[in-house]
Chain A
Amino acid sequence: MKTLQAKLSNKKNNFVPYIMAGDHERGLEGLNETIQLLEQAGSSAIEIGVPFSDPVADGPVIEQAGLRALAKNVSLSKILDSLKSIETEVPLVIMTYFNPVYQFGIENFVAALENTAVKGLIIPDLPKEHEAYIKPFITDKDICLVPLVSLTTPISRQKELVVDAEGFIYAVAINGVTGKENAYSNQLDHHLETLSKLTDIPVLTGFGISTLTDVERFNKVSAGVIVGSKIVRDLHENKESDVIKFIKNAINF
């Protein structure tokens, strides 16, 4: 079993924060500090966002964070350089749109992840149909390509998506972009329970999670949560202590 999955399978109430690489006063120089903070607070894994000019799956909070990072000349190649010197016990998961990786060169990209803490990839605009762009390069590596399952994914397709999945399953909790709050449907809990039963791989819930009430709800019906926009906003507003408190509470539900 690859590291990412092993780490998440060990426990319940997994908390996975998302940060935008380079969205820090000191740009990428601040990345290590943020990762250490999130690790110490009790994160199970940390998503590292790569800024993209046209992030169609993201809401305004993450889009703005990406634009701030781009304004500091952050690029995938610089992020990969920074990751080389970052040591953490927590597996990192790169969340990127496909184009920056495609331009970098997929083989080079995977090679650059060697000797970093990166154990997983989330590429929201690379559906199962096109996973062959990446999969052959990571099969023998300790890197997982995390599939996303949405509320519009029919059961038959959910089964196809989870069957050879690795790491964890990213359950998208709303039909919408990241950071859209108060939009959960009544059927969501049932959907998450059903999805969790289809697989032994941990199912983590994400999109729009901003309160401990949300966290408590989804910890009951899945193996944990992914929180992006709230973390990105709080870090941008220098509310590090709020972030730490939130994570500490979240993992105790």
Chain B
Amino acid sequence: MTYNQPNNQGFYGQFGGQFVPETLMTAVKELEVAYEDSKKDPVFQAELKELLKDYVGRENPLYFAKRLTEYAGGAKIYLKREDLNHTGAHKINNALGQVLLAKKMGKNKVIAETGAGQHGVATATAAALFGMECTIYMGEEDVKRQSLNVFRMELLGAKVHSVTDGSRVLKDAVNAALRAWVAQVEDTHYVMGSVLGPHPFPQIVRDYQAVIGQEARAQFLEKENKLPDALVACVGGGSNSMGLFYPFVNDESVEMYGVEAAGLGIDTPHHAATITKGRPGVLHGTLMDVLQDENGQILEAFSISAGLDYPGIGPEHSYFNAVGRAKYVDITDEEALEGFKILSRTEGIIPALESSHAIAYAVKLAKELGSEKTMIVCLSGRGDKDVVQVKERLEAEKEVK
């Protein structure tokens, strides 16, 4: 049966929907219509395709990681090199699409939330390219932790609004961006950064990120003349993973692994393992698996990687999990750091800490699958942004020893 989600109300099985205040209903409905129109608009599609090619640098390689494969001692590991995109991560695929869509809708301002700053940088980049006014909402804690990305966004002409409400991290930045959107909904588009939020955002972000899986599928078929046995990608909100998974959804032989951040461990309170430890709930406009207490209050997520530090997960991932289409597994901070080092040493590629979770799991999985099998790992971003943090951490560990 051909996969056909979401339904016309924006649900993926029981997950998804449009749980937003009435003030935003007109905007999300308008966005649904504009997005459907843009899919059928050959001029829009041609412009986006050209930008992805000439500005982002697509298609990017599907690279056979020979030495990583030897290190793992099992299945062949291919890396989809989203780290080679302009701005250094997959986030630009979606930001460009949405800013182009905003322009088509006649909106002259964009706003976005950001955690580590990658989506903020991508949105600021796309806004600069189109000469649009851009405001990025970022939790005060993240502003402190990621000052270099704050500077990047400002350099690109964006205004960075430091969010001092609540716990001052990504989820609070989303709250602030949603509130700001309510206040200026008539001339502003909210560039949602992941497969989250009210319908049609999870679908739009999935479709703009699906270029990852579309390219990877064709590239893999060309190199190996068959489909891969497994796909592996890290999951915070879940945009790079959904982008890789979605084009394979009807390929039943292909197994999908979404790697969640287990932080200090899933048996501690400090993790971001939403599928493993959360349960269905409504946050930020959508029904999805959420980390929450017994009364439905949202809990803070924790991970070494700010990009995975979110207490929810895209509704389509919740659906994939519920119907068994994808498996969701966990990698701790320690394991991710190991992945960070292993890829650097075996392949000369420094991965983002987010992607390091996928690398760490891929090494485990490769051993389990054995040398007859193959896999594609989404290398969602490069690690330049993380080297200072990793350096400080490794030095601190040395001192303790």
Contacts and interface: CB of A to CB of B under 8 A. Distances in A.
Contacts of A177: 179, 182-183
B34 to A, nearest CB: 16
A151 B19 CA distance: 18
Contact of B283 (A99, A130, A161): A99
Given A99-B292, A103-B294, A157-B26, A63 B165 contact: yes
Given A54-B166, A152-B186, A127 B296 contact: no
Interface of A, helix, strand, loop or mixed by DSSP: loop
A77 B182 CA distance: 30
Interface in A159-206: 161, 172, 174-177, 180
A56 B290 CA distance: 16
Nearest to B24: A152
A60 B172 CA distance: 12
A55 B182 CA distance: 13
A125 B21 contact: yes
A127 B27 contact: no
Given A54-B283, A102-B296, A152-B185, A127 B19 contact: yes
Question: Which of B25, B281, B287, B298 has the most A CB atoms < 10 Å from its CB?
Answer: B25
A148 B22 CA distance: 6
Contacts of A53: 166, 297-298
B351 interface: no
Interface string B287-302: 1001010111110000
A125 B178 CA distance: 12
Contacts of A125: 19-21, 282, 285
A149 interface: yes
Interface in B1-40: 9, 17-27
A32 interface: no
B186 A175 contact: yes
Interface string A42-84: 0000000001111111011001000100100001110000000
Please name the 5 residue pairs, one residue from A and one from B, whose CB atoms are nearest each other, closest first: A103-B296, A75-B295, A150-B23, A100-B296, A176-B183
Given A57-B21, A99-B283, A152-B26, 10 more contacts: A51-B297, A54-B175, A54-B284, A99-B298, A103-B281, A124-B21, A127-B20, A127-B21, A150-B26, A174-B183
